[in-house]
A = this chain, B = another copy of it.
Amino acid sequence: MSGRVRSLADLGESALIARIARRAGRQVGRDWALGIGDDAAILSTRAGQELVFSADAQVENVHFRFGRETPRTIGRRALAVNLSDLAAMGASPVGALMSLSAPPTASVATFDAIIAGFVDEAARFDCPLVGGNLSSAGEWSLDITVIGRCRRGRALRRKGLRPGDSLYVTGVLGQATLVRLKADRTGRRLTRVPTPRIEAGQALSRLAGTRACIDLSDGLATDLGHLLSSDGFGAEIDATVLPRPRGFLRDCALLGLDPIAVQSGGGEDYELLFAFRSERNRSAAEMLTRRLGVSVHRVGRVTSEPGIRGLPPVREGHHF
């Protein structure tokens, strides 16, 4: 014994599941008739609602590295990026399932820290962990399925925009890329986790002028392409008005980066990009900022002509 690191194989599957259930079990609220520990979790449904489902995986050395992020950050982030998909639908979180794969030689301390991060994030957004599974594997991966709820017919989709609509983003763009590059330079470990815009998405789903919405996981240019492709329209963006993090131009200069390329091509900001009916008055951004509870900036407009004008072209995604 004497200080030897305990591995996942030392503990075994049942004991590991029990560790998760102990941490997560208290969160399961009245929606759930049954949480972790059976063949499946049971959710009571309500009339007049729709449920929404999304799944997203975080894979070691693709989405995270143990040298770069803390285990706690990896756990928090795995849920946060999934909650961002619920935000983009205007849905409120109902629960999550986690499939966790890890090498049998991995340490229990790492496992515990990842679970703790996940469960803390789950508590923050009222999204209890209700099920999932564990498997041994050659590398770590956390695959999360989230369940959300909307009033019937109110979910925000990618489809629905019209030429002339204004395009808005929440928050600032380029932050995630900059923080990651700075961490790479300094060797400090990343602890930043994106904030899923759950409340902003819900507010958008209640506003009559909202046409379509997507979250910015792959970067503005790529995700705007996804939003537009649903209807076959195009967009004109004014790259000079993209909202910037504090000190952004100075930091880009120090790191030798093109600010617009970072804001347009850098992913993982997990802000919302949405199309809104154009208003006659110029104060729509102010109204939206007030209603969504987060800063909102107009960045361009939808055009009937396909293609994106005003942003540098992008290459296809990072992961294949």
Contacts and interface: CB of A to CB of B under 8 A. Distances in A.
A214 B13 CA distance: 18
Contacts of A45: 45-47, 49-51
B38 A320 contact: no
Contacts of A141: 101, 135, 137, 141
Nearest to A85: B39
A257 interface: no
A8 interface: yes
Contact of A145 (B51, B55, B134, B316): B55
Interface string A101-137: 1001000000000000000000000000011111111
Contacts of A139: 137-139
Interface stretch (A21-29, A58-66, A179-187): A58-66
A138 B138 CA distance: 8
A152 interface: yes
Nearest to A213: B39
A164 B278 CA distance: 70
B136 A62 contact: yes
Q: What number of copies of this chain does the assembly contain?
A: 2
Interface in A136-156: 136-139, 141, 143, 145, 147-148, 150, 152, 155
A294 to B, nearest CB: 18
A46 B320 CA distance: 39
B316 A13 contact: yes
Contacts of A11: 320
A198 B52 CA distance: 24
Contacts of A189: none
A148 B13 CA distance: 25
Contacts of A131: 53-55
13 contacts: A33-B155, A34-B155, A34-B157, A39-B54, A42-B150, A43-B50, A43-B52, A45-B51, A57-B99, A57-B101, A57-B143, A134-B320, A137-B141
